[in-house]
Amino acid sequence: MDTDSAYLQPYLPILVLLLLAGVMCFAISILAGYLGPKRTFPIKETAFECGSPTTGDPHSRHSVKFYLVALLFIVFDIESVFIYPWGALLRDFAAQGLGWFAYLEMLSFMATLALGLVYVWRKGALEWS
């Protein structure tokens, strides 16, 4: 325990600063809420959007296909993340007599991903319209 507290000693001022900052923020906003003058009238209460009245419900639904794009991007991004070090290390694998193994392993990985691409394509996930 002693070693731990000695290790943490230099960080004490930062902790104090964080606490002070937090207290200041809350104190100022709460005080402003109590002390500040309030003059409300109907127009001030209405929703306001870039100088013009709002149109429609502010909680609108977003199309889910953006999430699909992100997901597909991650999948194929990871493919390239795997292939790059594999390509860089293939000579070393071959030197150890594992060349064919590494080659076939990557082929099976890419074949699996290709099947996934076929699936995504046929399901219509690549048609953005």
Work out how close the CB of 31 gets to other proteins at its nearest, in angstroms, rounded to a whole number.
39
Tell me whether residue 24 or residue 69 sits nearer to other proteins (CB atom): 69
Q: Of the two residues 44 and 122, which places its CB atom closer to other proteins in the complex? A: 122
Shortest approach of other proteins to residue 77 CB, angstroms? 18
Q: Are 28 and 20 in contact (CB under 8 A)?
A: no
Q: How far apart are CA 90 and CA 97, in angstroms?
A: 11
Task: Report the residue number, 35 or 64, with the smaller CB distance to other proteins.
Answer: 64
Note the residues at the interface with other proteins (CB under 8 A): 96, 98, 101, 112, 115, 118-119, 122-124
Angle between helices 65-95 and 99-122 (to 10 degrees): 170
CB of 120 to other proteins, least distance (A): 9
Secondary element (H or E) of residue 93: helix 65-95
Could you give the angle at the alpha carbon of 105 between the alpha carbons of 103 and 106, nearest 5°? 70
Three-state DSSP class for 49?
strand
Q: Cβ 75 to other proteins, closest distance in Å?
A: 13
Q: Which is nearer to other proteins, 4 or 45 (CB)?
A: 4
